[in-house]
Structures are given as C-alpha cells and as structure tokens.
Amino acid sequence: MKTIDELLADGVAGKRVFVRADLNVPLDGTTITDDGRIRAVVPTVKALAEAGARVVVASHLGRPKGAPDPAFSLAPAAARLGELLGTDVAFATDTVGESATSTVASLTDGQVAVIENLRFNAGETAKEDAERAAFAERLAALADVYVGDGFGAVHRKHASVFDLPARLPHYAGYLITTEVGVLKKLTEDVERPYAVVLGGSKVSDKLAVIDQLLGKADRILVGGGMVFTFLAAKGHEVGASLLQQDQLPAVREYIERAEKNGVELVLPVDVVTSAEFPDLKTKAPSDPRTVAADAIPADQMGLDIGPETRKLYASRIADAATVFWNGPMGVFEHPDYAEGTRAVAQALVDSPAFSVVGGGDSAAAVRILGFDENAFGHISTGGGASLEYLEGKTLPGLAALED
C-alpha cells in the first residue's frame, strides 16, 4: 500500500484530503475520559496541514442507529483535536449535507475540519453494497485524496473504510503503517520466547485468536472473566464467577492442544473474589477476599487474579522477548480489583521484551492506572482489529488500501 510519505512527496497543497480517523473515544456526557485515539491521529493530520492540505477528518463514535443522536456527536472530539493541534478546527454538523459541503468548501490551505459522526448516516454501516456505495460517492465529493488512518475500524466493511478508498487516490496514514508494522512483528519472524497475555470478560471473544496462537506462542497467560471457563474446564468450582458453559468443550480442546503443541498455558493459582459485583461509579469499598483458584466458594465471584498469580505472571513475562497483551486481568475500574491488571502492566514495563498492548480496555487501563505510555513498545488503538489480524483474517480497511 502507498503511504502518506509518498503522498506528501507528490505535494498536497490545496488538495482536499479525507482522513478516515478513529475518534471513537469514551465519553462521560460531553467529557472525553480517554483521548488516546485522538492523539494517535495527530501526526497524520498535522503533517498534511503543514504541507498545505485542506484536511477533512471523519470518524464514527459509538453505535447510533443510522440517524443523528446528540449523545454520539463528534463535537467534543473535534474540539480536543483542535487543542492537540494548537489550531482552530472547523466542525460540520452533518456528514454529507449542507453543513459538511459548506464547511469543506470554506477551508483554506492548511486548515482542518471534522465532519459529524459517520454512523449518523445509515449508509456507513449498511450491509447492502449499493447503499454503502451511494454514501461513499457522497463522501468522495468532499475530497480529492483519501488517507486511511483509523486502525480501530479497519476490520469493518463500512462505506468510509472499504468503499470510499476505491473512489479516490488512497494512502495509509502514519498510524496504520505503524500498527501493521507492529503486528507483523507478532506474526512474522517473532523473537522468542513469545508470551501472550489474554484477559477480558468472555472467552468466546478470544476463541479464534487462541486457536491461532496455539501454533505460534510459546506461552499463553489467561486472566479476566474468561479464565473461569478455563478453570471450570479443568474441573474446578468457580462459584458465581462469569462462566460460559457452551464454550467448555472448545476450551477443553484448547487445553489439550496446548499440551500437545508444547505451549505453556498459565492459569491463576489464586483469585480475588467478592459476593457482589463492585459499584464502578462510586468506587465504594467492597469485600475482596483472596482464595485458591481451585477452591472458589459457591457464593463468591472471581474479580481479579490474586497476589501469587501476579508474581507468577510477572515471572513468565520477565524472560520473554516478545509480549502481546489484550484484555485486563480483572475489574480494573475498581481499586479493589485493579492490582492484577496493574501487575501485568508493570511486568511489561520492567521487561526488556518488545511489548504490545492490544488496544481496547487494556490500553485504557494503562492510562487509567497512570503508566507512561512510552514505557511500552506499542499501544494499539484497535483491540478488535488487532485480534482479527492475529487470527489471520483479511481486514477490509487494509485490503482497500492495497493497490
């Protein structure tokens, strides 16, 4: 795929450049609680603006139902982008209507505009090719060149990600080229030992990537809510913990295959439990208890890995050459159950390994828990996209950028 450096070398002064970013940031009302994805696109937008392009930034946010919804407006993201760029950023209150058309038309060389949430138009996510194509045609009218830089959306076959690049000269932005380069280090010529840390709530979300990693990783460390399906598959009582009964056969097969393939599958030896799920809004103190992983009381639910497991996991990360981490080890949003996630993050910081934090909740946890992002090899902006890449899937947004 052609890169933004090639576009800049050809000259972009006076050209309208459509940048498909990923500004899908978490909001508390109109307050952005984590601006990582906005900061990630700044290098691409800044380079284009400084070269004299008229930059049109577009993104989705949340899951509106194909119509305008003030709760999912990109206005806060546009304002934050302006702060990070140190310049005024114009904002269009629609996607391809009168506001977008006039806002883009009023741009001068070096100026930047953000158009409203792409998912306010049903054509963005339509399953019908013709409906997506019609929306893509209207988006194409706003620009002369397309730059894909929304890595968190490249696994979606959406109009602005898949259909629009075919209608304009297209290039990969700095974020996408960086993300793809990092993921190749996890799939091609991997430095070993290669350790993978998987967490999150549901094992069903990770089945496909586990299937692939059983043939590539040297060790897999499991935590989060998904671990209780593994513990149950080994015959342990998991009490009131999250359990996906329908996934037990698959997990048993993975446990057997790991042993056969010589992949070290590391499970908790102790967990932190409570009789009730904690209040994440007030962060009120709960009643955490540490119990053996194979002896969870019937009235308790596991909410984090325990102190001995934290030491164990840190030791299995310490001597790795490559580490990929996707998914928190517990309910990190509450201080009583954040220590497992903190321990994994600290182990990555302390390790000389090339470490990749695989987006989503893991990336949010790193920032919320106060870690320096520069202490990690790479923090991905796309959890779902990263996982699908590691699964070996063809990502529509990357395929669309190929020549």
| pLDDT at residue 173 in the model | 98
- The contacts of residue 164 (CB under 8 Å, 6+ apart) are 18, 20, 136, 139, 140, 146
Question: Measured over all CA atoms, what is the biggest interatomic distance in the chain, rounded to whole angstroms?
Answer: 67
Residue ranges of the binding site? 22-24, 37, 60-63, 119, 156, 206, 302, 333, 359-362
Instruction: Name the catalytic one among 37, 132, 219, 342.
Output: 37
Report d(CA 109, CA 127) in Å as an integer.
36
Q: Are 261 and 214 spatial neighbours (Cβ–Cβ below 8 Å)?
A: yes
Instruction: Name the catalytic one among 173, 340, 382, 384.
Output: 384
Instruction: Name the catalytic one among 80, 202, 257, 289.
Output: 202
- pLDDT tens by residue, the chain, 403 residues: 999 999 999 999 999 999 999 999 999 999 998 898 999 999 999 999 999 999 999 999 999 999 999 999 999 999 999 999 999 999 999 999 999 999 999 999 999 999 999 999 999 999 999 999 999 999 999 999 999 999 999 999 999 999 999 999 999 999 999 999 999 999 988 999 999 999 998 888 888 899 999 989 999 999 999 999 999 999 999 999 999 999 999 999 999 999 999 999 999 999 999 999 999 999 999 999 999 999 999 999 999 999 999 999 999 999 999 999 999 999 999 999 999 999 999 999 999 999 999 877 888 899 889 999 899 999 988 888 998 998 889 999 999 999 7
Query: Could you confirm whether 384 is annotated as catalytic?
Result: yes
Query: Could you confirm whether 283 is annotated as catalytic?
Result: no
401 closest CA partner among 136, 153, 129, 164: 164
Report d(CA 99, CA 115) in Å as an integer.
9
Residue ranges of the binding site for substrate? 22-24, 37, 60-63, 119, 156
Report d(CA 251, CA 246) in Å as an integer.
10
Q: Are 149 and 21 spatial neighbours (Cβ–Cβ below 8 Å)?
A: yes
At 243, list the tokens: 């359990």
Query: Could you confirm whether 360 is annotated as catalytic?
Result: yes
Q: Are 119 and 144 spatial neighbours (Cβ–Cβ below 8 Å)?
A: no
Residue ranges of the binding site for (2R)-3-phosphoglycerate? 37, 119, 156
CA distances from 257 to 226, 229, 231, 237, 254 (A): 18, 16, 16, 23, 5
Report d(CA 302, CA 272) in Å as an integer.
6
105 closest CA partner among 160, 136, 51, 142: 142
At 50, list the tokens: 């400084």
| pLDDT at residue 165 in the model | 98
Dihedral, 173, 2, 170, 391 alpha carbons, nearest 10: -70
The reported pTM is: 0.89
DSSP readout, 144-158?
A: SEEEE--GGGTTS--
294 closest CA partner among 333, 267, 266: 267
| pLDDT at residue 178 in the model | 95
| pLDDT at residue 94 in the model | 98
Residue ranges of the binding site for ATP? 206, 302, 333, 359-362
| pLDDT at residue 384 in the model | 86
| pLDDT at residue 382 in the model | 85
| pLDDT at residue 360 in the model | 73
| pLDDT at residue 343 in the model | 97
| pLDDT at residue 358 in the model | 87
| pLDDT at residue 321 in the model | 97
Q: Are 196 and 355 spatial neighbours (Cβ–Cβ below 8 Å)?
A: no
Residue by residue, what is the 3-state secondary structure of 217-234? CCEEEECCCCHHHHHHHC
Query: Could you confirm whether 202 is annotated as catalytic?
Result: yes
For the beta carbon of residue 372, count every other beta carbon within 10 angstroms. 9
Instruction: Name the catalytic one among 152, 200, 224, 360.
Output: 360
